[in-house]
């Protein structure tokens, strides 16, 4: 009885290992860029908790939460929270200053409550 598997592998047949390697590489690249975008989002715009003084600002512009007017601005928010830590409201402001550090413009919006299903 002769061994039927002694023939070399067909060079035109694609390897399934190569396909999995490509998939793993693409998946790793997607996860890397997704993580990088999350970091950039937090570094460039978003919300943080705190207090800022805006009484001396020359111009006050009300904006809507989540609107394009809030993009690329870092908002400082004062939150109202439940005992469990869920946000039920608040007020957020982003300040622009001149070269001397004087407030020239403030963007503000009222923080909406978090989704109660979370």
Q: What is the pLDDT of residues 64-109, one digit of tens each?
A: 998 888 888 889 999 998 888 888 899 999 999 889 888 999 999 9
Q: What is the pLDDT of residues 19-34, one digit of tens each?
A: 677 778 888 888 888 7
Residue 4 lies in a domain: no
Please list the alpha-helical segments (H only) found in the chain.
Answer: 16-44
Residues 83, 55 within the same domain: yes
Residues 79, 55 within the same domain: yes
- End-to-end Cα, the chain, rounded Å: 67
The confidence score (pLDDT) of residue 62 equals 95
DSSP state, 107? Answer: E
Domain ranges, residue 69: 46-111
Residues 51, 107 within the same domain: yes
Residue 90: strand pairing partners: 79, 111
Average pLDDT score over the chain = 81
Residues 62, 72 within the same domain: yes
How many domains are contained in the chain?
Answer: 2
42 — pLDDT class (breaks 50, 70, 90):
low
């Amino acid at each position: 009885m002769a061994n039927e598997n002694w023939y070399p592998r067909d060079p035109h047949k694609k390897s399934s290992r190569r396909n999995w390697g490509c998939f793993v590489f693409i998946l790793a690249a997607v996860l890397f860029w997704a993580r990088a975008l999350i970091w950039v989002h937090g570094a460039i715009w978003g919300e943080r908790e705190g207090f800022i003084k805006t009484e001396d600002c020359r111009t006050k512009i009300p904006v809507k939460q989540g609107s394009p007017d809030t993009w690329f601005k870092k908002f400082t928010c004062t939150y109202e929270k439940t005992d469990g830590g869920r946000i039920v409201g608040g007020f957020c402001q982003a300040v622009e200053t001149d070269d001397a550090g004087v407030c020239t413009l403030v963007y503000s919006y009222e923080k909406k409550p978090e989704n109660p299903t979370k």
